[in-house]
């Protein structure tokens, strides 16, 4: 069954993730319409997929030849396209940022739940080949996780970017979800510390580093887990080569019977009593194909799965608890 889709917005991952996946999965997806607030971008995408350019998101979601909407970006329109798609009964693939507000956006969550449409949130770290292989190794060779370390370096925000959405927020929310997915259960508490720096010319203080620890309780025969997650934007944009110098592993995980180092999306090095094992999973399906294949199953299945939306809100609520921990200087129950 081909799912007829409309594209809304544009994002940095379009050329490397979504466009190639839609080309490969042409037997499952048929791009029918494109809407973008930048007309030239919409025209270019529509020309490539032989689709129609539409003048507004409502015109797109209300078309009779559209089964699902792929939201590539949340721009100044906010949640309006999502609510319009719910009203029209169209499935939604959310590839925009995860900058949800667990309180203010509760109404949006209720609208999606009440609409009955399929809703999938894009979690690229979950579906990376290295992550899927790690889950296999945890079940077979490495044993249950005990310690997890994730660190991400970003380019520092310039003075002209102050007031824009904090890119480290999305990274940290995704890292929180990634750790929850790998561990396979929920944390019970979070503690966090942050570092503030002043940005010229008005000396506004912004966070350039945040480190949080998630505590996962013991469960049956599985040990308790501590996950340390950090993200920093402390390297200046003028230090061009510094950000990419000796980047840390995306995840280092210590398990009952071994340790593993992940470099997304396809490299996994793991050690057990037998020694060192290196796997390069370049022949596996890319992340974009994995994600859109999962969305296709979600749209065509008779069973509705809302876990992605719940997971997104759960990760955001943990991040917000981490901010509370920084303010109050104590661990916060989640």
Residue 52: CB atoms within 10 Å: 17
Q: Which residues contact 27 (CB under 8 A, 6 or more apart)?
A: 2
What's the pLDDT at 89?
94
Question: What pLDDT sits at residue 77?
Answer: 82
The pLDDT of residue 296 is: 95
User: How much is the pTM?
Assistant: 0.90
pLDDT of residue 157: 61
The CA angle 123-157-78, to the nearest 5 degrees, is 50
Q: What is the predicted pLDDT for the residue at 162?
A: 46
pLDDT of 208: 86
Tens of pLDDT, residues 136-194: 999 999 999 999 999 998 877 654 444 455 678 889 999 999 999 999 999 999 999 99
Q: What is the pLDDT of residue 135?
A: 97
Low-confidence ranges of the chain (pLDDT < 70): 157-166, 199-204
pLDDT at 202: 62
């Amino acid at each position: 069954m081909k799912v007829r889709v409309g594209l809304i917005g544009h994002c940095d991952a379009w050329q490397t993730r979504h466009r190639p996946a839609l080309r490969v999965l042409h037997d499952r997806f048929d791009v029918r319409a494109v809407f973008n607030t930048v007309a030239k971008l919409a025209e270019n995408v529509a020309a490539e997929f032989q689709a129609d350019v539409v003048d507004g998101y409502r015109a797109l979601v209300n078309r009779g030849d559209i089964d699902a909407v792929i939201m590539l970006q949340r721009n100044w329109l906010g949640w309006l396209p999502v609510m319009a798609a719910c009203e029209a009964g169209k499935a939604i693939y959310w590839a925009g940022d995860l900058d949800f507000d667990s309180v203010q956006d509760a109404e949006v969550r209720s609208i999606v739940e009440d609409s009955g449409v399929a809703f999938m949130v894009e979690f690229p770290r979950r579906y990376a080949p290295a992550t899927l292989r790690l889950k296999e190794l945890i079940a077979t060779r490495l044993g249950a996780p005990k310690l997890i370390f994730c660190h991400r370096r970003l380019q520092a925000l310039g003075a002209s970017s102050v007031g824009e959405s904090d890119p480290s927020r999305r990274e940290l929310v995704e890292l929180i979800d990634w750790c929850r997915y790998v561990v396979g259960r929920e944390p019970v508490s979070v503690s966090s510390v942050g570092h503030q720096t002043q940005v010229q010319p008005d000396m506004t203080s912004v966070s350039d580093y945040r480190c949080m620890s998630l505590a996962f309780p013991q469960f049956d025969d599985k040990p308790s887990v501590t996950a340390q997650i950090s993200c920093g934007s402390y390297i200046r944009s003028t230090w061009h080569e510094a950000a990419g110098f000796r980047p840390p592993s995306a995840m280092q995980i210590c398990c009952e019977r071994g340790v593993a180092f992940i470099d997304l999306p396809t490299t996994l090095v793991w050690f057990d009593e037998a020694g060192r094992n290196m796997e390069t999973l370049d022949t596996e399906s890319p992340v974009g194909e994995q994600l859109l294949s999962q969305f296709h199953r979600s749209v065509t299945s008779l069973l509705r799965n809302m876990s992605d939306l719940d997971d997104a809100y759960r990760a955001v609520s943990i991040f917000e608890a981490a901010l509370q921990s920084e303010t109050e200087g104590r661990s916060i129950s989640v």
